[in-house]
C-alpha cells in the first residue's frame, strides 16, 4: 500500500474531466448479456477492479468474452451453458450479490470467496432468498458454495433489503431464468439507494423482460428470455462527484462531457447537492459544468437514496462555513467499511469536528490541518481524502491504490485535473 501526498492547490481548479464508464451499468449489462438469448456487445465498459472481477467470474463460468484482454472497453459477450467454477469477489458488492443467483443455472458447484474485509459485509439475505427459490446453497457467509443444477423453480420470496438495494437487484437480474420467474417483496426499514433498483428494472425492460414494479416494495419478474442488447455504458456519475466537488472546494470550474440528459444513475444528484452548497451548475450540449462559490454553505440533507455520495459530501461539509447534518445513511455502516465511523475518525484526525448520529453525521466547521488519512480499503474514502487535501496542507492518503476499484488510475486523473 502506498501513502500518497494529496496534491495541494493555492487557487481555483479549472479543467475538463473525461470519465470512464459507470460501474453500476457495466456490471448489470455484463450479467444481462451473459444470460441473454444471443451475443451482445457492451461498449464503454469500465475497466476497474470491480468490473474485471465480474468479467473474470463470467469467463470462469463459461461465458464467452472477446477480446478477453485487460483494458478493452468494447467487449463481445457470448452466452454459453454455465459450468461450476471458483469465483473471487474482491470487495465488489455487485459481484458478491449479483452472481450467486446466476450460479444457480450452472451445472456444478460455484464456490465464492473474497477479500477478508468483504467477509464482514451482509450476505445471508441473498443466500436465504436463493434457498427459498429452490437453489442449493452451502453456507451463510463467505466462503460459500452455490450448487448449480442448470435450472431452479423460483417463485415468491420475502426479504429484508434494508442493508443494501443490491439484494433486490441481484435477484431481479437473474429472475427471468427461473422456471416460475421471481417475485421479491421487501419488509423492514426502507430500502436504501432505490435509484439503483430503478436502474435494474430499466435495463431489464430494455432487454425485453416483463417487470411489474407497481406494488409497494414488490417487484415481479415474469419467466422468459432475456433479449440480447448492444449496450452503451454512460460515464460514471458517482465517480464524477469527487471531481465536480474539486470545483466546489477551490472556487474553480470543472466540466464533464457526455453527461446524460436522462439517467437512472443516482450519482447525477450530486449536482443538486452542489447547488445547495452554493455552486453554480450549468449544462449545454452534454457538457455539465460546476463552478464553486467563494465560501461553501453547510447543508442539511437526507442521503438515503444517494448514500454512495456521502464521503464526497462529508468532505465538502468539513470545508463549509457552518454546521451540516447528513442523515438517512445508517446502512453505510455495512459498506466496504463502516463509512460513518471512518469519516468521523479521519476528518477529526485532521482537526475536524464530526459526531455520529443514529443515522448519519453532524459536521461542524473547523480549521483542518495535515496528517494521515486512512482509506480502510474503501475507494470513496480515498477520494474524499484527496478532496480535503486539495485545500489542506500535508494530507497523506493511505492506500490510494484502492481507488482502482472503480477508477483505474485516479492519482493520474487527479493530477491532470489540477493541471487543467
pLDDT for 355-403, tens place per residue? Answer: 999 999 999 999 999 999 999 999 999 999 999 999 999 999 999 999 9
308 has catalytic annotation: yes
Phi and psi angles of residue 59, each rounded to the nearest 5 degrees, phi first: -65, -40
Annotated binding residue at 23? yes
Distance between CA atoms of residues 368 and 12, nearest Å:
19
> Any known ligand binding at 166?
yes
Per-residue model confidence as pLDDT tens digits over 250-278 = 999 999 999 999 999 999 999 999 999 99
Mention the CATH class of domain 3-20+235-419: alpha beta
275 among the known binding-site residues?
no
Per residue in 288-331, pLDDT tens?
Answer: 999 999 999 999 999 999 999 999 999 999 999 999 999 999 99
| 164 belongs to an annotated ligand binding site | yes
Percentage of residues of the chain with pLDDT beyond 70: 99
Residue 122: its pLDDT value, please?
72
pLDDT averaged over the chain?
Answer: 96
Q: How many residues does the chain have?
A: 420
Nearest to 354 by CA among 395, 315, 309: 315
Q: CB under 8 Å to 58, separation ≥6 — which residues?
A: 30, 31, 34, 65, 77
**Pairwise CA distance, residues 269 & 305, whole Å:** 10
pLDDT digits (tens, 9 = 90+) for 24-81: 999 999 999 999 999 999 999 999 999 999 999 999 999 999 998 888 999 999 999 9
What strand order describes the sheet that includes 211-212?
A: 155-159, 182-186, 218-221, 211-212
Q: Please provide the CATH number assigned to the domain covering 23-221.
A: 3.65.10.10
372 assigned to a ligand binding site? no
CB atoms within 10 A of CB 45: 28
pLDDT of residue 68: 85
Distance CA 46, CA 52 (A): 9
Task: Please give the Cα distance from 285 to 134 (Å, whole number).
Answer: 49
162 appears as a binding residue in the annotation: no
Task: Provide the greatest CA pair distance for the chain.
Answer: 62
CA 124 to centroid of chain Cα atoms? 20
Over 90: is that where the pLDDT of 1 sits?
no
Would the annotation count 28 as a binding residue?
yes
Mean pLDDT for 117-128 is 86
- 303 alpha carbon, distance to own chain's centre: 15
Query: Is residue 189 annotated as involved in ligand binding?
Result: no
Query: What is the end-to-end Cα distance of the chain in Å, rounded?
Result: 28
Whether the domain at 3-20+235-419 and the domain at 23-221 fall into the same CATH topology:
yes
Known binder of ligand: residue 415? no
**By CB neighbour count within 10 A (0-12 exposed, 13-18 middle, 19+ buried), where does 393 fall?**
exposed
121 pLDDT more than 80: no
C-alpha triplet 382, 304, 213: angle, nearest 5°: 120
The one catalytic residue in 308, 346, 364, 401 is 308
Average pLDDT over residues 206-220: 97
Distance CA 32, CA 51 (A): 14
Where do the domains of the chain lie?
3-20+235-419, 23-221
Amino acid at each position: 500500500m502506498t501513502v500518497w501526498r494529496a496534491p495541494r492547490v493555492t487557487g481555483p481548479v479549472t479543467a475538463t474531466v473525461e470519465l470512464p464508464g459507470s460501474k453500476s451499468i457495466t456490471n448489470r449489462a455484463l450479467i444481462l448479456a451473459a444470460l441473454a438469448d444471443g451475443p451482445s456487445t457492451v461498449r464503454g465498459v469500465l475497466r476497474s477492479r470491480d468490473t474485471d472481477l465480474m468479467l473474470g467470474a463470467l469467463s470462469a463460468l463459461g461465458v464467452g468474452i472477446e477480446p478477453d484482454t485487460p483494458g478493452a472497453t468494447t467487449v463481445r459477450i457470448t452466452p454459453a451453458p454455465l459450468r461450476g467454477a471458483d469465483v473471487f469477489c474482491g470487495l465488489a458488492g455487485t459481484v458478491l450479490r449479483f452472481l450467486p443467483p446466476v450460479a444457480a443455472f450452472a451445472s456444478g458447484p460455484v464456490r465464492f470467496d473474497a477479500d477478508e474485509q468483504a467477509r464482514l459485509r451482509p450476505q445471508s439475505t441473498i443466500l436465504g432468498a436463493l434457498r427459498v427459490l429452490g437453489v442449493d446453497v452451502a453456507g451463510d457467509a463467505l466462503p460459500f458454495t452455490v450448487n448449480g443444477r442448470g435450472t431452479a423453480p423460483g417463485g415468491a420470496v420475502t426479504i429484508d433489503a434494508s442493508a443494501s438495494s443490491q439484494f433486490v437487484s441481484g435477484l431481479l437480474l437473474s429472475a427471468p431464468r427461473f422456471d416460475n420467474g421471481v417475485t421479491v417483496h421487501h419488509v423492514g426499514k426502507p430500502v436504501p439507494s432505490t435509484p439503483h433498483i430503478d436502474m435494474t428494472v430499466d435495463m431489464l425492460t430494455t432487454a425485453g423482460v416483463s417487470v411489474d414494479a407497481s406494488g409497494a416494495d414488490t417487484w415481479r419478474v415474469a419467466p422468459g428470455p432475456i433479449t440480447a442488447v448492444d449496450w452503451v455504458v454512460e460515464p460514471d456519475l458517482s465517480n464524477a462527484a469527487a471531481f465536480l466537488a474539486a470545483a466546489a472546494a477551490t472556487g474553480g470550474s470543472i466540466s464533464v462531457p457526455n453527461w446524460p440528459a436522462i439517467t437512472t444513475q443516482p450519482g447525477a444528484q450530486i449536482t443538486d447537492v452542489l447547488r445547495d452548497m452554493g455552486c453554480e451548475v450549468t449544462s449545454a450540449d452534454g457538457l455539465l459544468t460546476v463552478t464553486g462559490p467563494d465560501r461553501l454553505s453547510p447543508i442539511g440533507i437526507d442521503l438515503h437514496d444517494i448514500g454512495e455520495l456521502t464521503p464526497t459530501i462529508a468532505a465538502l461539509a468539513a470545508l463549509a462555513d457552518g454546521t451540516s447534518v447528513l442523515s438517512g445513511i445508517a446502512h453505510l455502516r455495512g459498506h466496504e467499511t463502516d463509512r460513518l465511523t471512518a469519516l468521523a475518525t479521519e476528518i477529526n484526525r485532521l482537526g475536524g469536528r464530526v459526531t455520529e448520529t443514529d443515522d448519519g453525521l453532524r459536521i461542524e466547521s473547523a480549521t483542518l490541518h495535515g496528517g494521515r488519512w486512512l482509506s480502510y480499503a474503501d475507494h470513496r474514502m480515498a477520494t474524499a481524502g484527496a478532496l480535503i487535501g486539495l485545500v489542506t496542507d500535508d494530507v497523506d492518503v493511505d492506500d490510494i491504490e484502492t481507488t482502482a476499484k472503480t477508477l483505474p488510475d485516479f492519482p493520474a486523473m487527479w493530477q491532470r485535473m489540477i493541471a487543467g
